[in-house]
Amino acid sequence: MADTEKQLEQKRVTNVVQQIGNHIKKVSDDYKDARSEMKLVQSNYSANTSVNYFEVDDRIETSAEIQQQRALSSRLIENEQILSRQLATFRQLEKSPYFGRIDILDPGETEQERLYIGTASFTDENQNFLVYDWRAPISSIYYNGTLGKVAYETPAGIQQTDLKKKRQFLIQDGEITSMFDTNETVGDEMLQHVLGEQNDDTMQNIVSTIQREQNDIIRDTHSDLLVVQGVAGSGKTSAILQRIAFLLYHSRDELEADQIILFSPNRLFSHYISDVLPSLGERNMRQVTLSEFVNQRFQGLEVESLFDRYETSKDISEATQESHDFKESAAFMSAVQDYCQTLPASQFKFNNILFKGNIFFSKQEIESIYRELPDMQPAERFLQTKNKLIKRLKHRINEEAKSAWVAEEIDQLSDEDYHTLLGNKELGRFQQIDDEIRYIARKIVTERLRIVYDAIYNSYFLDTYTQYTDFLAHCQRPATIDAKTWQEQTVAFQEALEYHHVLLDDVAPLLYLRDILTGSGQNRRMQHLFVDEMQDYSVAQLLYFHHAFPKAKMTFLGDSEQALYRNVESPDMLLHKLKDAFHVRKARLISLNRSYRSTLPITTFAKSLLPDGDHIQAFNRDGKVPTIVVRYDLDSAITAMHDLISESLKTNGTVAILTKNMDEAKLIYQHLHHDCDLTLLTDADRSLPKGVFVLPIYLAKGLEFDSVIAWNVSQENYPSSRELGILYTISSRAMHQLSLISIGPVTNLISQNVPQTCMQIEHEFSN
Ligand SMILES: Nc1ncnc2c1ncn2[C@@H]1O[C@H](COP(=O)(O)OP(=O)(O)OP(=O)(O)O)[C@@H](O)[C@H]1O
């Protein structure tokens, strides 16, 4: 491109950067003002909260003032937060104001329009757009269109235009480092540059290089269920995050970040992706792991985690596996639903409600309330039972409030405690002192009996576990599961319960049963549900999420070939299963087959492990072929590991040693941590350190590292195709370098599938 052209563009960049700089100064001043105002209100507030509370009039006045100040300070806090977010956005924009330019000619116009696209909009004093937000309707042309006639979607409908030029920029600290015109979606040159960089400890946004098929995922606002099957490294996680940023922009007035929930595979991942949305000027969505989500719903019990199950259930029989599969299926969830809908009142299992070890409401009493109600949906009937119990509780509170112990307690109250019990709102409400005392008495008893109220409110009087056992006994199982194996499932469930454990298979059906019978457990505020690594969830769990967030549109992303916890499925099978299970109006399936993470030799190696790997397209980025180091005993393998680490560190910032399980990770740590700076990562870790670390593959789900060393890929350790998903997932975590160590002969998964030219094998020959 002619130098003058570049000079002209640089001139514009410099000018825009200067204007952004001026704007930052202004926003900084506003921010400082907002902060000092905030401080002033806060100091006033604390002065007021310490005023004398004992004169009734004073109290009323103070309370009103406090309410006012609270409202004022929350408004100020919000304002301050907005300014602070704006500042962060503009500071980023100042360094790199845009990454793209499109020249368009609208129908009927004679003059082309030139638009620049960046991570956020920026207008000059006259409200002319100097930079368009990448999420603006017009910006979609940049990602989707090749030169010529193009269409784009706007709130007013589809618009047509003629795309005359598409230019890409790389701008660092206000300087154009490269720029080129392209007719492709986003040219490979730009991608080469971005992908060749070293890994950061948190993920980066990809807005400047979003690919056309990723753009389809990001900008889909129509589907109720969007399922993305994408090969390893195809940008699924990136697409989720840009999609969230897009949705927040698109529905700015109706959607808050906390109405979006993402199920992430582990805590390291949660941290890994935490910077992307803030880098785009947005707040993070809510993030949970399956374990966090279910543990919160089973208070007092410990739920088996995916990791626990992975670590312990290595050798289960085929028959048991069939029972597991059934319990994880959509058919099983339907069976739960049928059971609940047709459950006769006499089969309802209730618990006593206890107070200090004594029965407060007996299960017989609850049962008779339930039975006497007319026939209706179980949840409605349960709710009415609940209301009747609360009524009876209130009655008993009123009676108890007249007891001598309550009067005595009131006598003993200090003035301060008395007023605290009375509360701000009730100050001055009672004309008669007797009324006030009766009120206080009821409050004392209510507090004392709160535990009973909570038990009613939280539906603890349904004996969920006995009910579930009853369901298991009555459930129609497939003919392939014999009675004995099925009975073993019930026993396993009950035995676990004795130790306050719930097995993972039982989690979704158990929660579903409880929710249907009690009419609880649903969050209708959540508008979007995202599940990353969907292949690691059972269909039953996904259906439960759908039930728990009934209003949420669903986006499920995953890779059937990275299955760690079950056998690898073909993408078609997985999609078919999900489509059948979710009866939604607008379902859409998108496949991503191009892999961006790894160098060409690494992707070629990883895809040849898979029987159907041909559909995976590698991004053409140079690198060394993966090395396989074969040793014949543990000590030599550890020495080889040591050498590989030193060699990897010469060119890579992060080196991850990935193992099949935690025992292997500990073993390596024990042998190596004295000689090199090595960290062992566990389930409890929330962030990745720099340098060298060792972790089992399930904790590395969704992550990527400059260099990966796979531990012991021998035939003994990876004997069958059951381990294929594990090996593929490990190999596909590497960005620039992949090495694999084997103690003894290498697994057939590699030796029989990967062509010799795609790897370099180094044997140690003993003499
Ligand atoms: N359009 C793109 N531009 C630049 N980088 C991209 C793009 N798409 C993906 N990448 C990069 O490729 C790598 C893999 O992306 P990501 O982690 O989102 O893939 P994934 O499909 O979720 O992977 P996996 O399933 O293997 O965990 C990341 O480093 C990401 O930044």
Q: How far apart are CA 280 and CA 536, in angstroms?
A: 29
Strand stretches in 264-319, DSSP E: 286-288, 302-303
Please check if 691 is assigned to a binding site.
no
Predicted local confidence at residue 765, as pLDDT: 61
Distance from the alpha carbon of residue 493 to the mean position of ligand 1, in angstroms: 40
Distance from the alpha carbon of residue 671 to the mean position of ligand 1, in angstroms: 33
Q: Is the CB of 732 under 6 A from ligand 1?
A: yes
Between the CA of residue 321 and those of 138, 552, 560, 634, what are the distances in Å? 52, 32, 19, 33
Q: Is the CB of 233 under 6 A from ligand 1?
A: yes
Q: How far apart are CA 239 and CA 346, in angstroms?
A: 51
Candidate of 229, 238, 263 to mutate for ligand 1, largest count of ligand atoms within 8 Å of Cβ: 238
Please check if 425 is assigned to a binding site.
no
Position with higher pLDDT, 708 vs 202: 708
3-class secondary structure per residue, 548-585: HCCCCEEEEEECHHHCCCCCCCCHHHHHHHHHHHCCCC
Distance from the alpha carbon of residue 228 to the mean position of ligand 1, in angstroms: 14
Read off the pLDDT of each residue in 313-333 and give the average, rounded to a whole number.
84
| Structure tokens, 509 | 């059906």
Q: How far apart are CA 285 and CA 282, in angstroms?
A: 9
For residue 562, give the ligand 1 atom closest to its CA. 25
CA 534 to chain centroid, in Å, comes to 11
Distance from the alpha carbon of residue 601 to the mean position of ligand 1, in angstroms: 17
Distance from the alpha carbon of residue 30 to the mean position of ligand 1, in angstroms: 38
Q: Is the CB of 266 under 6 A from ligand 1?
A: no
How would you label 577-608 residue by residue, b for 16+ Cβ within 10 Å and e otherwise?
Answer: bbeebbeeeebbbbebebbbbbbebbbbbbbb
What is the topology classification, in CATH, of domain 600-763? Rossmann fold (3.40.50)
The residues near 3 (Cβ < 8 Å, ≥ 6 apart) are none
Contact 9, 116 (CB under 8 A): no
Q: Is the CB of 210 under 6 A from ligand 1?
A: yes
Predicted local confidence at residue 392, as pLDDT: 95
Distance from the alpha carbon of residue 195 to the mean position of ligand 1, in angstroms: 9
Q: How confident is the model at residue 55 (pLDDT cuts 50, 70, 90)?
A: very low
Decide if the complex's ipTM is over 0.90: yes
- How confident is the model over 10-21, as pLDDT tens digits? 999 999 999 999
- How confident is the model over 403-423, as pLDDT tens digits? 899 889 888 888 888 888 887
Position with higher pLDDT, 65 vs 638: 638
Contact 721, 568 (CB under 8 A): yes
Please name the residue that has the structure tokens 């979607």. 153
Give the domain ranges of the chain: 1-95, 286-343+464-592, 353-458, 600-763
Statement: residue 100 has pLDDT above 80: yes
Distance from the alpha carbon of residue 703 to the mean position of ligand 1, in angstroms: 10
Q: How far apart are CA 330 and CA 509, in angstroms?
A: 10
Q: Is the CB of 621 under 6 A from ligand 1?
A: no
Statement: residue 65 has pLDDT above 70: no
Please check if 232 is assigned to a binding site.
yes
Predicted local confidence at residue 569, as pLDDT: 63
Q: Is the CB of 232 under 6 A from ligand 1?
A: yes
Predicted local confidence at residue 657, as pLDDT: 97
CA-nearest residue for atom 8, ligand 1, is: 235
Q: Is the CB of 702 under 6 A from ligand 1?
A: yes
SS3 of residue 277 by DSSP = helix
Q: How far apart are CA 750 and CA 608, in angstroms?
A: 8
Predicted local confidence at residue 56, as pLDDT: 45
Helix orientation angle between 433-448 and 450-457, rounded to the nearest 10 degrees: 60
- pTM for this entry: 0.87
The residues near 157 (Cβ < 8 Å, ≥ 6 apart) are none
Candidate of 185, 198, 215, 234 to mutate for ligand 1, largest count of ligand atoms within 8 Å of Cβ: 234
Q: How confident is the model at residue 49 (pLDDT cuts 50, 70, 90)?
A: low
Distance from the alpha carbon of residue 235 to the mean position of ligand 1, in angstroms: 3
Strand stretches in 611-723, DSSP E: 617-618, 627-631, 654-659, 678-680, 691-696, 705-710
For residue 232, give the ligand 1 atom closest to its CA. 26
Q: How far apart are CA 594 and CA 438, in angstroms?
A: 73
Please name the residue that has the structure tokens 């599961």. 481
| Structure tokens, 656 | 């991850």
Q: How far apart are CA 263 and CA 287, in angstroms?
A: 6
Please check if 230 is assigned to a binding site.
yes
Please check if 237 is assigned to a binding site.
yes
Q: Is the CB of 62 under 6 A from ligand 1?
A: no
Q: How far apart are CA 735 and CA 618, in angstroms?
A: 12
Please check if 746 is assigned to a binding site.
no
Q: How far apart are CA 473 and CA 68, in angstroms?
A: 59
Q: How confident is the model at residue 560 (pLDDT cuts 50, 70, 90)?
A: confident
Statement: residue 48 has pLDDT above 60: no
